[in-house]
Structure 1
Amino acid sequence: MNRFLLLFLLAIASFQLNVLAQQKILHEAVERAEKEGFSGVILVAENGKILFEDAMGMRTYENRILLHEDDTFELASLSKQFTAMMIMMCEEKGLLAFDDQAAKYIETPYPGITIRHLLTHTSGLPDYQAIMDAHWDKSKVAGNQEILEYLREYAPVKSFEPGEQYEYSNTGYVLLASIVEKATGKDFVELMREWIFQPLKMKSTDIRSLAEKAEVQTFAAGHLKNKEGHYVNANTFHSSDYTVWLGNRKGPGRVSSNVEDLLKWDQALYSNTLVSEETLEEAFTPFKLTNERRSYYGFGWEIEPKSPFGKMVMHTGDNPGYKTIIVRFIEENKTIIILNNNAHPDMMRLVEAATLSLGKW
């Protein structure tokens, strides 16, 4: 996600809030997006009440099955907020501490990295996907164990010393999931179901294998255009689709859900259902780098202290065929969730329109 692009859109929203017509803003944006081929679901809520919800496009283009509002999407990197929550829950249970060394739990060739560095993308770890892409047999499916083995075997040079700067790191979130498993002695997927999805009654939410996804009739497949310009299932591009040959990884992605389950998750974060208010505040606090500058990424959330509606936390996701976003204006309990399954470029236009509309309901 380009944070500066979102801030630009929010600045526009702040400027225009008092001059644009009420809900017409969002309705027109949705109509335009649908005409331009956007496929996805959008939800806008305030205080947990749904103000606007709509589905457009196709669940599967091959069978011409229309999307529905309760369809399930791959969340991609939105999954990181759930991984971060698992770490926070472990911390509150006394199973680990945010400033523990990662090496206390898992073997890596990179000393000096703490759990806090992993959470905030300030570890300097190299990209595991590049190593796996170069060396992994893509006819097989890799998970965290294989990823960690390849990092130890090839030990690519880290980008910087821990805490020096921010650099988005999927590798860090692979390590976090493995740390949860080491600290609890339990499988990360099963534990996430037990600790988060089931208590919050997120019935459409899970970490699913390819076979499990195929069993979900309401699963919205990710689509990309082929050489002829037609949308086809993104899994068709097997060698370039890391979600297939890295299909057993845990931590940086792989949670699938729908907009209404994500609203349950959003609302649970206003209570002490999962962790205390004090712990959650840490998640929404910028990280201070070693040069005293601040990095505006907390524990699984990008942070903007000032927006048209006060403090905002958000995250995007991007997998082959999918683009996703959740925006939370936490001081006013306003929420925008958009899940897209044809990698369409119009998503940020919808975020802008939804933000504008929130000031006029």
Structure 2
Amino acid sequence: MYKLLALFLLAFVYVQVDTVAQQKILTDAVERAQREGFSGVILVAQDGEILFEDALGLRAYENRSLLHEDDIFELASLSKQFTAMMIMMCKEKGLLDFDDQVSKYIENPYPGITIRNLLTHTSGLPDYQAIMDEHWDKSKVAGNPEILKYLREYAPVKSFDPGEQYEYSNTGYVFLASIVEKATGKDFVELMREWIFQPLGMYDTDIRSLEEKAKVETFAAGHLKDENGKYVNAATFHSDDYTIWLGNRKGPGRVSSNAKDLLKWDQALYTEKLVSKETMEEAYTAFKLNNGTRSYYGFGWEIKPQSPFGKMVMHTGSNPGYSTIIVRYLEENKTIIILNNNVHPDLMRVVEAATLSLGKW
């Protein structure tokens, strides 16, 4: 679905229409999504000012509680942009360099991989979840030390040599969080609060345990359809089990937040509150593969050099019951954030409508 979205955004040609008509494109798409059962929060902004925000559907289908605009969602892989930022901040503090060998910080059976390879999904590392699924005692909860131990112990074959190609890698972002801990001597979760969430006033954003999430009244549960086509809590599905027995992993996911906090994050990236503009430009530059061609991924961001509004960076996330996306048009400071808690197919259609609507408000 998201590859199709990327192609749409890359190929889209902007057509000038009047303000009311452009706004109606989005409101019509949202109304259609609501009729078809979409559940989530939609936010569209220009220069940090919210132009459109709405909450549709239910926080929990079990008790029919309504979603609100400030409700908190599991971000899934949107978390990777925060992990990448932690590495960038470590670099600016002189604690590491992007072209350092991973083996300088953590023992692993895969030589020749740099931190830059991890950031850009060009490491060739195998999938940690497959190894853990096969060998881990699922009555216990694993985190990064256990994941790294099992990768060393079983040493599954790498996919390719570092820099040869792009292949999305959750394993690489486990490594990155572990490198942050090695370089700083501090816990990754605590450090992310100290370095990012608290300074930016992202008070609804955190890396929460299952127990902590259960205590947050405004946490939107993820939902999937059962065999009868009825939405039920995704935690009841076998596909969600890994979120428990891999519940202490850090780096590739597990950040939870709401749309307004993500807008604070978005706007902070235009400033030098966290890192310099030069470092952010590196983050927005697609990696050059060994054969000289460009991939389409920087440091925690998919890169689209051309779009209706100039250069665009984006990321999607997917967990059982959740689909999330942030789209940022850098040259015009336009932002689209959608957090969905029932994996609804209308998400892409709403993003397309939001893009069309952004031409003139």
For the criterion TM > 0.5, the same-fold answer is yes
Q: Distance in 2 between matches of 1:194 and 1:271?
A: 18
Q: Using the TM superposition, give the Cα deviation of residue 58 of structure 1 relative to its aligned residue in structure 2, in angstroms.
A: 0.5
2:186 equivalent to 1:186: yes
Distance (whole Å) between structure 2 residues aligned to residue 15 and residue 85 of structure 1: 32
Q: Please, what is the CA RMSD of the aligned residues? A: 1.3
Post-superposition offset of 1:78: 0.2
Residue by residue, what CA displacement relative to the aligned partner does 1:172-208 show, whole Å, maximum 9, x if unpaired?
0000000000000000000000000000000100000
Residues 350/153 of structure 1: CA separation in 2 closer, same or farther (3 Å cut): same
Q: Spell out, residue by residue over 1:100-121, the C-alpha distance to the aligned partner (whole angstroms, 9 max, x if none).
A: 0001000100000000000000
Superposed displacement of residue 3, structure 1: 3.6
Structure 1 runs (4+) deviating above 6 angstroms are none
Query: Is 2:23 the partner of 1:11?
Result: no
Partner Cα separation in structure 1 for residue 199 and residue 205 of structure 2: 12
Does 2:314 align with 1:314?
yes
Whether 1:167 and 2:161 are equivalent positions in the alignment is no
CA distance in 2, matches of 1:270, 1:240: 36
SS at match of 2:145: helix
Cα shift at 1:312: 0.3
Matches of 1:324 and 1:17, distance apart in 2: 29
Does residue 177 (structure 1) correspond to residue 177 (structure 2)? The answer is yes
C-alpha deviation, 1:345, in angstroms: 1.2
Deviation at 1:5, TM superposition (A): 3.3
Amino acid paired to 2:66:
L
8 Å Cα contact 2:9/2:308 also seen in 1 = no
Q: Does 1:102 align with 2:114?
A: no
Normalising by the residue count of structure 1, what TM-score does the alignment of the two structures yield? Answer: 0.97
Q: How does 1:138-287 map to 2 (within 5 A)?
A: 138-238=138-238, 240-287=240-287
> What is the DSSP-based 3-state SS (H/G/I as helix, E as strand, rest coil) of the residue aligned with 2:176?
helix
Aligned-pair CA distance for 1:139:
2.2
Q: Distance in 2 between matches of 1:357 and 1:241?
A: 39
Structure-2 separation of matches of 1:43 and 1:321:
20
Tell me the equivalent position of 1:297: 297
Distance 1:159 1:22 in 2: 45
Q: Give the aligned partner of residue 79 of structure 2.
A: 79
CA-CA distance at 1:231 after TM superposition? 1.1
% identical equivalent positions: 81
Whole-angstrom CA distance in 2 between matches of 1:142 and 1:342: 27
1:139, 1:60 → 2: CA distance?
27
The two structures have a TM-score, normalised by structure 2, of 0.97
Distance 1:281 1:264, change over 3 A: same
- 2:354 equivalent to 1:354: yes
Quote how far apart the aligned CAs of 1:10 are.
Answer: 4.9
Distance 1:43 1:276 in 2: 27
Match for 1:136: what amino acid?
Answer: W
Q: Matches of 1:150 and 1:157 in 2, distance apart?
A: 13
Q: Please give the alpha-carbon distance, in whole angstroms, between the structure 2 residues aligned to 1:128 and 1:299.
A: 20
Query: How far off is 1:18 after superposition?
Result: 3.5
Are 1:338 and 2:300 counterparts? Answer: no
Give 3-state SS (helix, strand or coil) of 1:224's partner: strand
Structure 2: distance between partners of 1:67 and 1:240: 22
Whether contact under 8 Å (2:283, 2:300) holds in the other structure is yes
In the other structure, the counterpart of 1:45 is 45
Q: Which consecutive unaligned segments of at least 5 residues does structure 2 have? A: none
Q: What's the secondary structure of 1:348's corresponding residue?
A: helix
Alpha-carbon deviations, 1:75-126, whole Å to 9, x = none? 0000000000000000000000000000100010000000000000000000
Larger mean CA deviation between 199-208 and 125-134 belongs to: 125-134
Q: Secondary structure at the match of 1:43?
A: strand
CA shift for structure 1 position 245: 1.6
Deviations 1:14-71 (A, max 9, x none): 2444489220000000000011111000000000000000000100000100000000
Native 8 Å contact 1:120 1:300 kept in 2: yes
2:124 corresponds to: 124
Q: Which runs of 5+ in 1 are unaligned?
A: none
**d(CA) in 2 for partners of 1:217, 1:245:** 24
Letter in 1 for 2:279: T
Alpha-carbon shift at residue 241 of structure 1 (Å) = 3.0
Aligned equivalents of 2:119 and 2:241: distance in 1? Answer: 25
What is residue 88 of structure 1 aligned with on the other side? 88
